[in-house]
Amino acid sequence: MEFTINKAQQAVAYCASKDDARPILTNVCIRDGEMIAADGFIMARTKVEGEFTTDHDTLIPAQSILQAKNGKTPINVKQEGERIELSGSNPNIIATTVGTGSFPKVDSLYPQDEPKLTIGMSKEVLSKIVKMMTDGGDMVRFTFYDDSSPIVYNIGNRYGNSTDYMINGLAMPCAIK
């Protein structure tokens, strides 16, 4: 197996779990030309171009991808048996695949219905919202009322049980579909 991960695709590794109690989820799964990572709350996947000769999932430690990450430089991934070489930074990162494992099947998690509303938000607006998050907040909740109203956002605790820390606001959508 041999493929290249560009800068945007490298970001998928940030979605992998950091919790050693869920060892499979601390890896990035390569399956059918896709790179998939999840931590139980968030998931990301992207298509990757390359030569895929395995008929099973290949699990690469997410930390190895993040260590090899080097700005705009693509990472070249080459597998020989259980050995994975990630080149794109100095020195090259050598990792061992976790084996075939049983990474969760994710296709059924994606909605199959037509979307009712799609909102585009600029990077600047989203960045400002995320910067308002402090140690007390770990969730941004967006509420859409109709296709022409501002988006209401709440920043706070993901379980909604924190009354001492909550930021509420509005964001104007940039594009509505």
Instruction: Please report the DSSP string for 82-123 in residue order.
Output: TEEEEESSSSPEEEE---S--PPP-GGGS--SPPS--EE--H
CA R_g for the chain: 19
pLDDT score for 175: 58
Q: Using CB atoms within 10 Å of the CB of residue 107, give its burial: 0 to 12 exposed, 13 to 18 middle, 19+ buried.
A: exposed
Digit-coded pLDDT (tens) for 113-136: 776 766 777 778 778 877 777 655
Q: Where in the chain is the domain with CATH 3.10.150.10?
A: 2-109
Distance (Å, whole) CA 57 – CA 43 = 16
CATH dotted code for 2-109: 3.10.150.10
Digit-coded pLDDT (tens) for 43-83: 899 988 888 776 778 899 998 888 887 666 788 888 888 88
- Of the candidates 173, 62, 48, 43, the one whose C-alpha atom is nearest the C-alpha of residue 119 is 173
pTM of the model: 0.70
**Does residue 23 contact residue 40 with C-beta atoms inside 8 Å?**
no
Tokens of 104: 């969760």
Q: What is the mean pLDDT of residues 143-168?
A: 70
Distance (Å, whole) CA 14 – CA 20 = 15
Residue 27 confidence class, pLDDT cut points 50, 70, 90: very high
What single-letter amino acid sits at 150? Answer: P
Instruction: Please report the DSSP string for 3-41 in residue order.
Output: EEE-HHHHGGGGGS---TTSGGGGEEEEETTEEEEE-SS
